[in-house]
């Protein structure tokens, strides 16, 4: 295995996905299998609603246990390894130790939330500074990138960094309250929207994302580089809520605007993701990924994605969970917003 020289013969790649059953990784696995690549998935074997594609090799191991991983991968090499579940610097340091010499490309899934918040300019490019003072998750992803890129510069570790933004499938609801917000719409109850509802947000269907992601695998020119992979469709938050309402059969949802700071003050658990990501307009330039994977385009507008999500939940009533704590938070914030001044 020559470090930094993925196989480019055009034949099937030997791929290892660490994870493989999440929103992004499951769609990427489906894409890789459909293209005929030889896919191996390594995870703990926990039951999931997103099963691996038929014909995929599944290795069971705890990725946080280095000896466990070594045993599972003994004598194995791969054209590319995609790591979907490293979130902290210690995770990628272990990955460097485990995978050096075992692969020609290690793909680290970072996050577009790592980009400068608030952004100084739009659209956001790969060259946009990485800085997020609001969200530890994002700072940890930045620290992971720093470790990996230093290893690339110093020792040639074959890293490629991918930064997705809000990526969804039929099981993931983009609203702050998840299904609870759709429940409130259908019950005629007011729904809180952070800010004034006009900040722009980018939602990418996982099937679209997978086209670009799998297209990066095995390309030597991607080594040492970072790539944003998102949709080109940017929607104001009021429209996102409105599309869910339309999909749920609610013609005129009652949207109540509450500042992100106020929501965070009433419920600190929502603060980091709101203040460090959702409250800022994000519009991305995907020219770089399209230059390397020219077949990448987003064919699924969010209007169609919202219909798919609502239909899937209606067909699976067990997923339609109403969070009573969020119900109470919504009622409390609606009263606060409508209080006499």
**Secondary structure (DSSP) of 94-134:** HHHHHHTTTBS-EEEE--GGGB-SS-SSSSB-TTS-B--SS
* Angle made by CA atoms 314, 172, 325, in degrees to the nearest 5: 85
The pLDDT assigned to 21 comes to 84
Mean local confidence (pLDDT), 224-246: 98
Of 267, 264, 25, 273, residue with least CA distance to 138: 273
Answer whether residue 2 shows pLDDT above 70.
no
Q: Judge contact between 334 and 256, C-beta under 8 A.
A: yes
Mean pLDDT of 176-180: 97
Q: What is the pLDDT of residue 8?
A: 45
pLDDT of residue 10: 64
At residue 45 the predicted structure's pLDDT band, cuts being 50, 70 and 90, is: confident
Beta-ladder partners of 43: 60
Instruction: Find where tokens 């009533």 sit.
Output: 317
- How open is the CA angle 93-98-99, to the nearest 5 degrees? 100
Helix H or strand E segment including 193: strand 191-194
pLDDT band at 44 (very low <50, low <70, confident <90, very high): confident
pLDDT at 178: 97
Would you say 75 and 50 are in contact if contact means Cβ atoms under 8 Å apart? no
Q: Find out whether 159 and 151 touch, Cβ atoms under 8 Å.
A: yes
Across 95-112, average pLDDT: 97
Query: What gap in Å lies between CA 143 and CA 290, rounded to an integer?
Result: 26
Task: For residue range 68-99, list pLDDT tens digits in order.
Answer: 999 999 999 999 999 999 999 999 999 999 99
Q: How far apart are CA 148 and CA 109, in angstroms?
A: 12
Look over the chain and give the mean of its residue pLDDT values, rounded to a whole number: 94
> If you write DSSP's letter for every residue of 64-88 in order, what string do you get?
T-HHHHHHHTTT--BSEEEESS--S
pLDDT digits (tens, 9 = 90+) for 263-279: 999 999 999 999 999 99
Q: What does the block give as tokens for 157? A: 């570790």
pLDDT at residue 3 tops 60: no
Residue 4 confidence (pLDDT) above 90: no
Cis peptide before 219 (omega within 30 of 0): no
Judged against a pLDDT cut of 90, whether residue 47 lies above it is answered with no
Q: What is the pLDDT of residue 248?
A: 98
Alpha-carbon distance of 279 to 281, in angstroms, equals: 7
pLDDT in tens, 156-170: 999 999 999 999 999
| CB neighbourhood size of 15 (10 A) | 27
Average the pLDDT over 220-230 and give the result: 98
Which of 204, 162, 121, 106 lies closest to 288 in space, CA to CA?
162
CA nearest to 128, candidates 31, 206, 228, 238? 228
143: tokens are 């620290």
Per-residue tokens: 207: 């099937």
For the cut 70, the answer to whether the pLDDT of residue 1 exceeds it is no
């Amino acid at each position: 295995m020559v470090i930094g020289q993925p196989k480019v013969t055009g034949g099937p790649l030997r791929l290892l996905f660490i994870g493989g059953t999440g929103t992004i990784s499951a769609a990427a696995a489906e894409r890789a299998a459909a293209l005929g690549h030889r896919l191996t998935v390594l995870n703990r074997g926990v039951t999931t609603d997103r099963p691996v594609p038929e014909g995929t090799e599944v290795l069971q191991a705890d990725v946080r246990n280095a000896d466990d991983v070594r045993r599972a991968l003994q004598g194995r090499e791969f054209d590319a390894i995609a790591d979907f579940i490293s979130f902290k610097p210690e995770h990628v340091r272990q990955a460097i130790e485990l995978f050096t010499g075992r692969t020609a490309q290690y793909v680290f899934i970072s996050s577009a939330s790592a980009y400068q918040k608030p952004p100084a300019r739009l659209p956001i490019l790969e060259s946009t500074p990485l800085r997020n003072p609001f969200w530890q998750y994002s700072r940890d992803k930045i620290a992971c990138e720093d470790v990996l890129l230093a290893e690339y510069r110093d020792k040639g570790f074959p890293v490629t960094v991918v930064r997705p933004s809000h990526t969804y499938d039929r099981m993931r609801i983009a609203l702050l309250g998840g299904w609870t917000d759709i429940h409130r719409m259908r019950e005629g109850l007011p729904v809180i929207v952070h800010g004034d509802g006009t900040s722009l947000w980018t939602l990418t269907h996982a099937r679209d994302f997978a086209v670009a992601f799998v297209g990066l695998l095995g390309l030597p020119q991607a080594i040492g580089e970072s790539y944003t992979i998102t949709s080109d469709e940017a929607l104001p938050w009021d429209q996102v809520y409105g599309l869910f309402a339309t999909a749920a059969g609610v013609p005129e949802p009652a949207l109540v605007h509450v500042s992100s700071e106020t929501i965070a003050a009433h419920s600190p658990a929502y603060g980091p993701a709101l203040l460090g990501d959702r409250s800022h307009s994000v519009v991305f330039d995907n020219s770089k990924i399209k230059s390397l994977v020219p077949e990448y385009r987003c064919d699924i507008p969010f209007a169609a994605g919202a219909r798919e999500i609502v239909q899937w939940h209606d067909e699976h009533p067990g997923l339609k969970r109403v969070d009573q704590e969020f119900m109470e938070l919504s009622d409390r914030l609606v009263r606060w917003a409508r209080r006499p001044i």
